[in-house]
């Protein structure tokens, strides 16, 4: 395992009372080889019972609270500032991504092959819930646009699991500006700029995906897709 001894798992939370306790339990049980595990939970001013649920974990994990809702990107930036691990992993608070797959996502970093790992819902043969065709097309378009500007060959730029060594994230985090879902293309754009200067190596690993419907709590909309287009262009070409 070499220079890595601790992993920080950053979990942004907004109105996830139905899944919050289950995802925390799954993360607590997840195998991360022999790494010490730090769980950082950031509540982005939830309107449901999420805040009250999180209070029960304050003595066990790092729990941070926003006083007003700012978005996933802002919650991640807050979490990154408190993370002390040698590796930092982003985990959504819903149940769309399975913490049992941490070892496979971490392996390229622990094997010394990568400094950053992005997950992909479209690689490999893992199970995927069948949902929205237009979301699938939209993701393909956004990933293609991002690849055209980063010169990466990713298959799933928007995928939720993104893992960084602390050394790489320390270079990226101070520059992050996105407050909402634009954080996904911004993280990829800033990683690509480091990769072009041979400052990091990037791998992509296939994961399973149990997507939610809007009735079940899915939050992303066409407005977030439009914002993603702007972020891809802005953070690749102008920032």
Distance of alpha carbon 167 from alpha carbon 200, whole angstroms:
9
Q: How far apart are CA 106 and CA 37, in angstroms?
A: 13
CA–CA separation, 159 vs 173, rounded Å? Answer: 19
DSSP designation for 128 = B
Instruction: Please state, as a whole number, how many other Cβ atoms lie within 10 Å of the Cβ of residue 142.
Output: 20
Per-residue burial over 59-98, b if 16 or more Cβ lie within 10 Å, else e, is: eebbbbbbeeebbbbbbbbbbbeebebbbbbbbbbbbbbb
pLDDT at 70: 95
Q: How far apart are CA 204 and CA 123, in angstroms?
A: 9
Q: Predicted confidence band at 146 (pLDDT cuts at 50, 70, 90)? A: very high
* Range with lowest mean pLDDT among 40-44, 138-142, 170-174, 220-224: 220-224
Q: What's the pLDDT tens digit per position in 79-138?
A: 999 999 999 999 999 888 999 999 999 999 999 999 999 999 888 777 766 666 777 788
CB 186 within 8 A of CB 76: no
User: Is residue 210's pLDDT more than 80?
Assistant: no
Per-residue model confidence (pLDDT) at position 94: 87
pLDDT of residue 1 exceeding 60: no
- CA 176/CA 185 separation, integer angstroms: 11
CATH of domain 6-237: 3.90.550.10
Q: pTM here? A: 0.91
pLDDT, residue 206, reads 94
Q: Is the dihedral of CA 59, 17, 26, 186 positive or negative?
A: negative
Mean residue pLDDT of the chain comes to 91
Query: Residues 167-171: what's their mean pLDDT?
Result: 97
- Structure confidence at residue 211 as a pLDDT band (50, 70, 90): low
**pLDDT tens digit string along 30-49?**
999 999 999 999 999 999 99
Name, in order, each residue with C-beta under 8 angstroms of 7's C-beta and a sequence gap of 6 or more: 32, 35, 36, 37, 38, 85, 86, 87, 88, 89, 106
Nearest to 24 by CA among 62, 79, 76: 62
pLDDT at 216: 61
């Amino acid at each position: 395992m070499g220079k890595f001894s601790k992993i920080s798992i950053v979990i942004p939370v907004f109105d996830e009372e139905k899944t919050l306790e289950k995802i925390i339990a799954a993360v607590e049980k997840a195998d991360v080889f022999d790494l010490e595990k730090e769980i950082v939970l950031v509540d982005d001013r939830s309107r449901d019972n999420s805040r009250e649920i999180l209070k029960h974990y304050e003595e066990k994990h790092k729990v941070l609270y926003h006083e007003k809702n700012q978005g996933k990107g802002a919650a991640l930036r807050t979490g990154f500032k408190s993370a002390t691990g040698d590796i930092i992993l982003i985990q959504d608070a819903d149940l769309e991504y399975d913490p049992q797959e941490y070892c496979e996502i971490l392996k390229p970093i622990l094997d010394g092959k990568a400094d950053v790992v992005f997950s992909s819902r479209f690689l490999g043969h893992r199970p995927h819930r069948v949902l929205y065709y237009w979301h699938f097309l939209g993701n393909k378009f956004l990933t293609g646009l991002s690849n055209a500007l980063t010169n990466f060959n990713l298959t799933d730029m928007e995928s939720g699991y993104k893992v960084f060594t602390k050394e790489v994230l320390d270079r990226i985090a101070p520059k992050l500006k996105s407050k909402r879902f634009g954080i996904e293309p911004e993280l990829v754009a800033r990683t690509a700029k480091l990769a072009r200067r041979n400052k990091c190596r990037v791998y992509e690993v296939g994961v399973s995906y149990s997507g939610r419907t809007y009735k079940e709590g899915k939050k992303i909309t066409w407005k977030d897709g439009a914002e993603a287009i702007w972020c891809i262009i802005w953070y690749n070409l102008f920032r």
